[in-house]
Amino acid sequence: MANESTLALPAEQVETVTLTVNGRQITAPKGTNVLQAALNNGIKIPSFCWHPKLKSVGSCRMCYIEVEGVPKLLVSCCTPVAEGMVVHTESDLVRQGRKAVIEFTLINHPLDCPTCDKGGECDLQDLTFAHGFDDSRFAFQKYRFVEEGSSSSFDDHRIGPEIILNRNRCILCYKCVRANKEAFGEYDLGVYERGNIAEINAAPGEQVDNPYSGNLVEICPVGALTNTDWRYKIRVWLTQQDDSVSIFESSGINIRFWKERQKNHIYRVTARPNDAIDDGWLADVTRYGYQIATSPHRLKTPLIRKDGKQVEASWDEALELIAKRFRSVCDSQGAVCVGGIVAPWQDNGALMRFNALFRKHLKSNNVDFRTDYKNLPSTPTSDFSLLASQPFRIAQIDSSDVILTFGSDLLREHRNEYLRARKAMTFNDAQVIVAGPYATKHADISSAELVYAPGSEEAAIGALGMAAIELGVATDTGFSESFGNRSLADLCSVAGLESDDVRAAARTLATAERPSVIVGELITRSPARDGIAKALNNLDRLLGLSTKGQVAALAAYANSRGAERLGLLPQPADATRAQLTALFGGLSEHDGLTTDQMLQAMTRNEFNACFVLGADPVQTYPDRSFVEEALGKVEFLVVADTFESETTEVADVVLPLSTWAESTGDFVNLEGTVQTARETIRPMHQSKPASEIIDRIAALVTGSDADTTVDIDDAIRALLAVAPAASWAEKYRPVTLPNPEANESNVIALYVGDDPHHLSHLTQHASSLMNFVGEAYAEISSDLAARLSVGSGDTVRLEHGSAKIILAVRISEHLDSDVVLVPRNFASAAVTGLQSRSARVDRVKISRVEG
């Protein structure tokens, strides 16, 4: 695996101790438990309940060890290493103890291995073979859990959209309940009853449907928790595994595909723990998102619009038509009238080829990967770009003492970093400060929560800085001046914050030793992001946050960072532009157009041919009617995608695009690490990987068989090697304070984000995920619901101008102000129709639908 990370984690001096295990001297950091220390040295101590990322509880008692000088057996997962300790893991007493535990564990276990889907990868099966008896001394009826009202003794009931529970197989290691609580902060699964009839079950009246629920199945050591995605479809020993990374998360979560080669089918995805990135936890989107590859609804052949109807066509016909039309537009209208929009989850090879196709072969600088951001300023070295390119280490969140999330609905945006923040709080007592325009789920781990008025970010940042100065925990070297010398009280009043809350947060932040500041999508997608970045720059300058720790706006998609670094922007940063010029033998003179500018040009009939690769702007770009108008007017629209979408519907040529599972490609995660996703199945139907499609178009456009002038791999290497410009937080920048509008009666701020189980137009084709999501909803506070006299499941109308949508109400557990959250990517609820391309905060009229 390529890993270009150059940033080393801070080498902390860890105290170590030396102990002897089975006659071998080993060294381990102080505080490690014996089980972990032994494992790190290749000595495996069997266990059921221990998990490397959870607190040890010592409940299964399988990991007994004998320590010289201690008369009793100890459990190694709860025994810290000590200097000079002499440990035996295979003594007679230990073996006897283990045998007894296996015997106890099995007395009420059904031993239905032949029909159990865990067979072949079951810890209990493996450890029984290794350490147990081949006979049972238990002469009584086994205890049987039976579902209420069922006559079957086979306990098999659904406790969530994906999870099926069999309580009889459960050995009560409590790993699922512990992970749910400790790692995910979820309480939809619990333990009920006690003693030998204790049982794991969904919380009364609830479903186990949290965004991490798939992990519970993966860590179950027996077949008590299985999921519909995998079970009974194939036996585990008939599968092969391939390493890959998720395209559903910008962190580059490491995954493993489980496939059957002959059938060319993927059966599941599991974690491939990488402590630097993911700790081995997968969000459900990553676990079940692979189903887009195996979906029966994929585009199967190229389509060409003939007489107003899209009809099946051959690849040759489609590609020749594309090359011909693009060439002819370039020749007749000029290269400024063609362009491409690419989804930021295409691999580096595809992105680089896309860039070369437009910049080199068609001589057009019109390329962009931002398909869901509001109309953005296109300056290459904006303050926001600097913020976004700051070095950031996911693993460093763990060791931060203070974590500030600013303008981030962390669970909806960065499920992996959300877990890291929880981990820092749970294991290292980190203080979490949450600042955002509405209360978010992760406020439950926060020590301070600042809910500022929508659209008042700069004032909230200014208030934090002024409070730190006022408290004497920061020295004003120009901060107050950069905010126009406005007082703390003044700034608080603009931001709608209580100054005491701001002071408490400011003190914590200013006195942090290793802070991590995560700037979220609510800033990244805002048209005011440069101004907000300036304010953050000043706060960083004042408090030295990025010097002591890290500050960054995190990339949103699996290869956003790659797209940026490879120059898939109309106006890339200077150094990238220089590199591109060198690689492509010069660039066209004209300024490239952003997504928004391309769409605008289309509406003016000034843009004639567009290639959309893997994206669905009709559903994702703000102001739906504008996008529809633009794409309706463009003369020639090519869309390559895996499924039919609202964008493919209006295309002149539709190309069936393979998924990332069907080709090998590299992705750059949010911290800049390059990771490879390997081809695991052959392209389905007639679909082709993006790289192959673009290569063939390029060959047709240039008239040569293959493009030999640019070595794609060399080009990628050269572009990724370009160092990001670094002038962040070096000086104060003047900030213009916003003047946020107040809500009028029933006109409230609308925030459009992702449902944690549904992240792009693609995931609606992952059936497991759709089992979680259901229909689109309008999430509002209980207070607002009361004022509107609506309850959960009732419907409300959201209106903006002439656009309106009707949605079911979901009453939020955490929202406490007048905002409405609506998830994106629901074909049935075109929420982008309510968004404007320029408004900093979208506001909608909300009203109850009668009847």
Partner 1 sequence: MHYSPVITNADQAIKSDKLHLFRYVEDPNQKQIDTYMTHGGYTAWKKVLNDMSPEAVTGEVKESGLRGRGGAGFPTGVKWGFVPKDSTKPRYLICNADESEPGTCKDRVLMERDPHGMIEGMAIASFAIKSNLMFCYIRGEFGECIRATEAAMHEAYDKGMLGKNIMGTGYDLDMVIHTGGGAYICGEETALLNSLEGERGMSRVKPPFPAVEGLYACPTIVNNVETLAAVPFIVNNGAAWYKSMGTEKSAGTKLFSLTGHINRPGNFEVELGMPLKDMIYSPEFGNGIPDGKKLKAVIPGGASTPYLTPEQVETVLLDYESMEEHGSMLGSGAIIVLNEDTCIIWSIYKLIHFFRHESCGKCTPCREGTGWLEQIIKSILDGKGKPGDIERIEDLCENILGRTICPLGDAAVMPIQSAVKHFRGEWEFAIEHGRPMVKTDFAFT
Residue number with CB closer to partner 1 (76 or 835) = 76
Q: For partner 1, which residue of 17, 37, 73, 523 counts as binding (CB under 8 A)?
A: 73
Cα separation, 62 vs 100, whole angstroms = 9
For position 64 contacting partner 1 by CB under 8 A, the verdict is yes
φ, ψ at 268 (rounded to 5°): -170, 170
**Cα–Cα–Cα angle for 167, 173, 177, nearest 5°?**
80
Residue number with CB closer to partner 1 (172 or 846) = 172
Cα separation, 455 vs 666, whole angstroms = 37
Q: For partner 1, which residue of 126, 193, 713, 813 counts as binding (CB under 8 A)?
A: 193
**C-alpha distances out from residue 250 to 161, 253, 278, 346, 671, Å:** 25, 8, 11, 12, 9
The contacts found for 33-41 with CB under 8 angstroms, 24 or more apart, are: 33/76, 33/77, 33/78, 33/79, 33/80, 33/81, 34/65, 34/74, 34/76, 34/77, 34/79, 34/80, 34/81, 34/85, 34/87, 35/63, 35/76, 35/77, 36/77, 37/81, 38/76, 38/87, 38/89
Cα separation, 340 vs 593, whole angstroms = 10
Residue of 409, 415, 402, 413 whose CA lies nearest to 446: 402
Q: For partner 1, which residue of 107, 113, 203, 747 counts as binding (CB under 8 A)?
A: 107
Residue of 36, 41, 27, 40 whose CA lies nearest to 65: 36
**Mask for 709-738, x = binds partner 1 (CB under 8 A):** ------------------------------
Residue number with CB closer to partner 1 (203 or 234) = 203
For position 135 contacting partner 1 by CB under 8 A, the verdict is no
Residue of 369, 352, 802, 356 whose CA lies nearest to 596: 369
Residue number with CB closer to partner 1 (58 or 544) = 58
**CB of 407 vs partner 1, minimal distance in Å:** 31
Question: Residue by residue, what is the 3-state secondary structure of 155-191?
Answer: CCEECCCCEEECCCCCCCCCHHHHHHHHHCCCCCEEE
For position 101 contacting partner 1 by CB under 8 A, the verdict is yes
Find the binding residues for partner 1 in span 378-397 (CB under 8 A).
none
For tokens 């970093």, what's the residue?
417
Residue number with CB closer to partner 1 (129 or 192) = 192
Residue of 175, 174, 159, 165 whose CA lies nearest to 209: 159
Q: For partner 1, which residue of 8, 13, 25, 194 counts as binding (CB under 8 A)?
A: 194
Amino acid in position 41? N
The answer to whether 104 and 142 are in contact (CB under 8 A) is: no
The answer to whether 603 and 814 are in contact (CB under 8 A) is: no
Cα separation, 811 vs 797, whole angstroms = 15
Number of residues that bind partner 1 (CB under 8 A): 38
Strands (DSSP E) found in 272-401 = 303-306, 309-312, 338-342, 367-368
Residue number with CB closer to partner 1 (31 or 377) = 31
Residue number with CB closer to partner 1 (128 or 291) = 128
**CB of 176 vs partner 1, minimal distance in Å:** 14
Q: Is 192 helix (H, G, I), strand (E, B) or coil?
A: strand
For position 111 contacting partner 1 by CB under 8 A, the verdict is no
The answer to whether 155 and 146 are in contact (CB under 8 A) is: yes
Q: For partner 1, which residue of 39, 86, 100, 575 counts as binding (CB under 8 A)?
A: 100
For position 433 contacting partner 1 by CB under 8 A, the verdict is no
Alpha helices in 644-733 (DSSP H): 690-702, 712-720
Find the binding residues for partner 1 in span 23-62 (CB under 8 A).
56-62
Tokens of 20: 């002897």
Find the binding residues for partner 1 in span 469-498 (CB under 8 A).
none
For position 172 contacting partner 1 by CB under 8 A, the verdict is yes
Residue number with CB closer to partner 1 (60 or 759) = 60
For position 108 contacting partner 1 by CB under 8 A, the verdict is yes
Of 24-32, 136-144, 286-294, 327-335: span binding partner 1 (CB under 8 A)? 136-144
Residue number with CB closer to partner 1 (104 or 315) = 104
Residue number with CB closer to partner 1 (72 or 309) = 72
**CB of 108 vs partner 1, minimal distance in Å:** 7
User: Containing H/E element for 349?
Assistant: helix 348-356
**CB of 94 vs partner 1, minimal distance in Å:** 11
Q: For partner 1, which residue of 39, 78, 111, 699 counts as binding (CB under 8 A)?
A: 78
**Residue 361: which residues within 8 A CB-CB, separation 6 or more?**
698, 701, 702, 707
For position 747 contacting partner 1 by CB under 8 A, the verdict is no
Q: For partner 1, which residue of 13, 134, 137, 789 counts as binding (CB under 8 A)?
A: 137
**CB of 194 vs partner 1, minimal distance in Å:** 5
Residue number with CB closer to partner 1 (8 or 139) = 139
Tokens of 302: 């190229």
For position 554 contacting partner 1 by CB under 8 A, the verdict is no
For position 143 contacting partner 1 by CB under 8 A, the verdict is yes
**Residue 375: which residues within 8 A CB-CB, separation 6 or more?**
527, 594, 596, 837, 838
Q: For partner 1, which residue of 12, 140, 204, 307 counts as binding (CB under 8 A)?
A: 140
Q: For partner 1, which residue of 15, 69, 114, 139 counts as binding (CB under 8 A)?
A: 139
Residue number with CB closer to partner 1 (86 or 107) = 107
Amino acid in position 571? Q
Residue number with CB closer to partner 1 (101 or 601) = 101
**CB of 57 vs partner 1, minimal distance in Å:** 7
Strand order in the sheet with 24-29: 24-29, 16-21, 86-88, 64-67, 74-75
Cα separation, 773 vs 764, whole angstroms = 9
Of 196-204, 259-267, 657-665, 703-711: span binding partner 1 (CB under 8 A)? 196-204
Residue number with CB closer to partner 1 (81 or 463) = 81
Of 24-32, 102-110, 222-230, 613-621: span binding partner 1 (CB under 8 A)? 102-110
For position 83 contacting partner 1 by CB under 8 A, the verdict is no
Residue number with CB closer to partner 1 (94 or 497) = 94
Task: Name residue 755's beta-bridge partners.
Answer: 758
Q: For partner 1, which residue of 27, 150, 196, 625 counts as binding (CB under 8 A)?
A: 196
Residue of 575, 555, 522, 524 whose CA lies nearest to 376: 524
Residue number with CB closer to partner 1 (104 or 643) = 104
For position 513 contacting partner 1 by CB under 8 A, the verdict is no
Residue of 725, 692, 724 whose CA lies nearest to 346: 692
Beta-sheet pairing, 402-406 with 367-368:
unpaired
Of 105-113, 280-288, 316-324, 830-838: span binding partner 1 (CB under 8 A)? 105-113
**CB of 159 vs partner 1, minimal distance in Å:** 18
For position 328 contacting partner 1 by CB under 8 A, the verdict is no
**CB of 141 vs partner 1, minimal distance in Å:** 9
**C-alpha distances out from residue 551 to 157, 515, 625, Å:** 46, 8, 37
Residue of 273, 359, 259, 353 whose CA lies nearest to 665: 353
Cα separation, 601 vs 619, whole angstroms = 19
Residue number with CB closer to partner 1 (58 or 273) = 58
Cα separation, 401 vs 574, whole angstroms = 36
For position 92 contacting partner 1 by CB under 8 A, the verdict is no
Residue number with CB closer to partner 1 (33 or 456) = 33
For position 72 contacting partner 1 by CB under 8 A, the verdict is yes
Q: For partner 1, which residue of 16, 104, 315, 378 counts as binding (CB under 8 A)?
A: 104
Residues that bind partner 1 (CB under 8 A): 56-62, 64, 71-73, 75, 78, 80, 97, 100-101, 103-105, 107-108, 137-140, 143, 171-172, 174, 190-191, 193-198
